[in-house]
Structure 1
Amino acid sequence: MTATPPQSDSPLVPRAPQPTRLALRDTLMLIGLPLVAALALPAAFAGGGTRRWFGGRAESQRAEAQAAKDAAAAAFYELDTAQRDLRISIETITAVDDSPAARRTVADFDAIGRRIDEASSQYIEAVDAHDLDRDDLEASAAGQARAALTRAKDELGRVKQELDRFASGLGPLLGNAETQLARLAPAVERARQGLLAASNALDAVRASGLKADDLAARLAALGPELTKLNQGAGQHGVPQTLERAERVAREAEAVRAEAERLPERAAEIDHRLVSLRTRAQALTTRAGQVEPILSELRRRFTVACWQDLQHVPEQAGQNVAQAEQKLREARAARDDQRWPDATALLSTVRALLNATDESVSAAGDRLSRLNAVQKDPQQEIDRTRFAIRDAQRLAMAGRSTPDPRHARPLDNAVTRLDQAVSTLEGRHPDYWHFLTETEAVRQSVAQVVSQIRGERGAGH
């Protein structure tokens, strides 16, 4: 027979001792229950407590809600980071570009910013509306929190995709802006270095005893531009600062190059002064020889052969006198180191002497040519006939009949030559008319030859 265990409520059997809170905590910790739950259990055993126990479903809902909250927080942080990064790109574009496209981009970014604010407000309201750390959080409240936070996360994700699409279209504008910004600092530094090099070159020239007042004035005019460069692109704009830096660098380089060349320029002016003075003296001598040439032309040839040369002696004398006056002015400018004035005056002297040289030479050349044709006009005739026949052969090459466009001017050339030859008959032939006419005939023939060759070259 089996013995019956004593009843717990029997007065003869002592009651089993109740576990203490410390022992219960140690036991629960050994089996892995959370300390918070362990501390709550004795009150339940005691028959009363401060919170209801909902079991595993409530905690599962709380965990899902917390996961949704963490995901929404991650989406919010990702969107906020992307917006901050993109704002830097927008500021880069606006700092450089004020085009309509850039202004539209700023407006579109502001619109997306409003969408971001709306999605962020939805997220913040969802977080504030649900306290997931409450001890008495019910399962239904946790589920509502999870749904609201999930909706906020999804909205943040949609706005993030919209922001990404907007960012992907910024490539050309952003690339251009970054290129200009990358050019800005080196351009400003080149301008500063160029101004320094120009200043040093100017100092070196002055130390050698040469004045460079015009260069110094040009360099001083760049001072305000340097001030604006030092004030920076933030005050004056990136495109304007970049253009200013490049212009200052160019102008400073021009000043530096001219300053370094100034000693050579001074020596060149000195050489031209001597050379042109010598040439003026030589032309004075040659101009004195024109009158005897004219006398011989008057004595041996008709008026038409020399009448246009009557003014040469007087005009040559005037030109040489004017050139000598300009030479004196150029010398004074050189002594005052007014280099541009000296250079301009010397150019005037050279033009005067060139014109005088041509007119003086024309008298001697006229006499030589008239002597040659008077002695043997046949040489000029043969030379012109040969040019005509050569052109006629070219016009007939590969053809049975010539092209009228080529034949007519060549026939006219033959007629003109015959008429020129006829002017040599008589007691006082006009040799100068004969020479000018044969030369004109050869020029017209040369034009026909050039036309034929051009047409055939294009045809091939």
Structure 2
Amino acid sequence: MTATPRQPKSPSVPRGRSRFARGLPQAVPRVVPQPASRVAGRPRRALRDSLADSLTLVALPLVVALALPASFAGGGTRRWFGGRAESQRAEAQAAKDAAAAAFYELDTAQRDLRISIETIAAVDDSPAARRAITDFDALGRRIDEVSHQYINAVDAHDLDRDDLEASAAARARTELAKAKDDLDNVKRELDRFADGLGPLLGKAETQLARLAPAVERARQGLLAASNALDTVRTSGLRADDLAARLATLAPELTKLNQGAGQHGVPQTLERAERVAREAEAVRVEAERLPEKAAEIDHRLVSLRTRAQALTTRAGQVEPVLSELRRRFTAACWQDLQGVPDLAGENVRQAERKLTEAQAARDEQRWPDATALLSTVRALLNTTDESVSAAGDRLRRLNAVQKDPQQEIDRTRFAIRDAQRLAMAGRNTPDPRHARPLDDSVARLERAIGTLEGRHPDYWHFLTETEAVRQTVAQVVAQIRDERGAGH
């Protein structure tokens, strides 16, 4: 908002004043706020300060001027102020002062709003934020336009001239009043725009409020992780993998230290939260590392002991198989023929993995040691199940050979209980329930028939009765689910 500067006229005392008038103090000349165009190179901040000072003194010159007598004792003097021209001058001066105040208020409001816009621009890149920035730029151009009109109106009229005519003063008052109205109108537009920025500004200020604490948490998290690693290393544990993970966060810390001005507020906030989260994970694992080492040592001892016990138990499978072959048909034991060889191979493989796990623990390769121990455990579980299966088979076959009626009664009771449930509250059972129950009765009778003859297949009998009980249990669950849903 600049224009060609014009030097203001220095205050002067009119010719012909009396000596009494010449002796008046020099502090009473009118102090008029000067527009930016009147002082070459003066920035708007200086103009605003000058206007503020002027507004505090604007009433003083008028009071003093009105207090001066129209003429003094002694001849040869003329009127300094008076008449219609002086009245128009006073009105024009009042319009000028009012326009200066409006200009000052508009300039202050624009500066304050610019801070809010810069805050939003630094944090928010949404379409709404970009639109707000564009609208503010358009308002800025409108403000520049009315400010130029105001400055031109001030420069066009010298209200301090001794020979100021009434018509010139009236014209100055009109133009200055219009300039004030234009300034006020734009100020109202600016206020409405500022009111509409509430949600965007609130969101931006919230993110800015989160920024400093988030960055500080990230720094403190990295420091805590580094201290935890130092403590672990003093106990003789290297924790190389954790140190490598922590080292990857160093560039992120550098970017955090460079600040949001270089990398953006949203990006810096996201980076700070991620660094804090990863640093916390490193710290927790570092503090748990001694416990993990002790746990791996315990598992090594425990699994080694279990492997030795399974070696002993695997050696007992062969006598069990011999008895099964001697007393029962091939269908009762044929699927167990490979158990001794499989158990021996599994135990040997488990022992090799244990050796590898011990080496990984000695080299402090904790993930490798943990994975190897999980493999050993799976091998030993499989071996345990197969070794136990042989002994369990012999016990069940001995029981059914001695008294098959117990297995028959157990299965029949399950079928009758399901049939009573299917008939509860009904005259006829639901076919969806009755059919599988009837099939289960027939299947049980066929399984009982396999016990007749010289060499009964007890294992087939046991698997059939177990399958019947499973079918009956499914029907019972279906009936209860349907009645529960209907209820």
Aligned twin of 1:256: 283
- Aligned positions, number: 432
Maintained 8 Å contact 2:314/2:340: yes
Aligned twin of 1:197: 224
Maintained 8 Å contact 2:18/2:72: no
Of 259, 279, 298 in structure 2, the residue corresponding to residue 232 of structure 1 is: 259
Q: Deviations over 1:275-331 (max 9, x none)?
A: 000000000000011111111111111212111111111111010000000111111
Aligned twin of 1:7: none
Could you state the TM-score of these two structures normalised by the residue count of structure 1?
0.89
> Is 1:171 the counterpart of 2:160 in the alignment?
no
* Partners of 1:158 and 1:120 in 2: CA distance: 12
* Partners of 2:272 and 2:260 in 1: CA distance: 11
Aligned twin of 1:433: 460
Aligned twin of 1:13: none
Structure 1 runs, 4 residues or longer, greater than 3 Å off? 20-26, 32-43, 52-56
Q: How does 1:108-147 map to 2 (within 5 A)?
A: 108-147=135-174
Maintained 8 Å contact 1:287/1:360: yes
Maintained 8 Å contact 1:24/1:38: no
Unaligned 5+ runs, structure 1: 1-19, 27-31
- Give the aligned residue type for 1:333: A
CA separation of 1:275/1:33 partners in 2, compared to 1, >3 Å: closer, same or farther? closer
SS in 2 for 1:98: coil
Q: How does 1:232-381 map to 2 (within 5 A)?
A: 232-381=259-408
- Give the aligned residue type for 1:101: A
Maintained 8 Å contact 2:343/2:383: yes
- Structure 1 residue 54, shift from structure 2 partner: 7.4
Q: Which piece of structure 1 moves more, 382-391 or 187-196?
A: 382-391
Q: How does 1:29-68 map to 2 (within 5 A)?
A: 34=65, 38=69, 46=76, 55-68=82-95
- Structure 1 residue 65, shift from structure 2 partner: 1.8
Q: Which piece of structure 1 moves more, 194-203 or 158-167?
A: 158-167
Maintained 8 Å contact 2:217/2:276: yes
* Partners of 1:401 and 1:392 in 2: CA distance: 11
* Partners of 1:402 and 1:278 in 2: CA distance: 57
CA separation of 1:409/1:65 partners in 2, compared to 1, >3 Å: closer, same or farther? farther
Q: How does 1:419-458 map to 2 (within 5 A)?
A: 419-458=446-485
CA separation of 1:33/1:359 partners in 2, compared to 1, >3 Å: closer, same or farther? closer
Maintained 8 Å contact 1:395/1:403: yes
- CA RMSD, 1 decimal: 2.3
Could you state the TM-score of these two structures normalised by the residue count of structure 2?
0.84
- Give the aligned residue type for 1:117: D
> Is 1:155 the counterpart of 2:188 in the alignment?
no
Aligned twin of 2:57: none
Maintained 8 Å contact 1:25/1:35: no
Aligned twin of 1:29: none
* Partners of 2:202 and 2:373 in 1: CA distance: 53
Aligned twin of 1:14: none
> Is 1:392 the counterpart of 2:447 in the alignment?
no
* Partners of 1:106 and 1:88 in 2: CA distance: 12
Q: Deviations over 1:207-256 (max 9, x none)?
A: 11111111111111111111111111111111111111111111111111
CA separation of 1:322/1:133 partners in 2, compared to 1, >3 Å: closer, same or farther? same
SS in 1 for 2:429: coil
* Partners of 1:348 and 1:455 in 2: CA distance: 44
> Is 1:83 the counterpart of 2:110 in the alignment?
yes
Q: Deviations over 1:115-167 (max 9, x none)?
A: 11112122222222222222222222222222212212222222222222222
Maintained 8 Å contact 1:96/1:239: yes
Unaligned 5+ runs, structure 2: 1-16, 24-62
CA separation of 1:115/1:314 partners in 2, compared to 1, >3 Å: closer, same or farther? same
* Partners of 1:247 and 1:82 in 2: CA distance: 39
Q: Which piece of structure 1 moves more, 233-242 or 60-69?
A: 60-69
CA separation of 1:190/1:42 partners in 2, compared to 1, >3 Å: closer, same or farther? same
SS in 1 for 2:291: helix
* Partners of 2:480 and 2:406 in 1: CA distance: 27
Of 123, 128, 141 in structure 2, the residue corresponding to residue 96 of structure 1 is: 123
- Give the aligned residue type for 1:192: R
Q: Deviations over 1:5-43 (max 9, x none)?
A: xxxxxxxxxxxxxxx9457999xxxxx984996586679
- Give the aligned residue type for 1:320: V
Maintained 8 Å contact 1:210/1:337: yes
CA separation of 1:380/1:33 partners in 2, compared to 1, >3 Å: closer, same or farther? closer
Q: Deviations over 1:51-84 (max 9, x none)?
A: x877343222222222222222222222222211
Aligned twin of 1:408: 435
SS in 2 for 1:122: helix
- Give the aligned residue type for 1:371: N
Aligned twin of 1:187: 214
Maintained 8 Å contact 1:25/1:39: no
Maintained 8 Å contact 2:228/2:286: yes
* Partners of 2:363 and 2:260 in 1: CA distance: 43
SS in 1 for 2:257: helix
* Partners of 1:133 and 1:400 in 2: CA distance: 117
CA separation of 1:129/1:364 partners in 2, compared to 1, >3 Å: closer, same or farther? same
> Is 1:70 the counterpart of 2:97 in the alignment?
yes
Aligned twin of 1:9: none
Q: How does 1:11-26 map to 2 (within 5 A)?
A: 21-22=18-19
* Partners of 1:23 and 1:257 in 2: CA distance: 91
* Partners of 1:373 and 1:77 in 2: CA distance: 107
CA separation of 1:284/1:214 partners in 2, compared to 1, >3 Å: closer, same or farther? same
CA separation of 1:165/1:34 partners in 2, compared to 1, >3 Å: closer, same or farther? closer
Q: Which structure: larger Rg?
A: 1
* Partners of 1:207 and 1:170 in 2: CA distance: 56
- Structure 1 residue 105, shift from structure 2 partner: 1.6
* Partners of 1:21 and 1:327 in 2: CA distance: 120
- Structure 1 residue 458, shift from structure 2 partner: 1.7
Q: Deviations over 1:74-119 (max 9, x none)?
A: 2222222221111111111111111222211211111111111112
Identity %: 83
CA separation of 1:21/1:179 partners in 2, compared to 1, >3 Å: closer, same or farther? closer
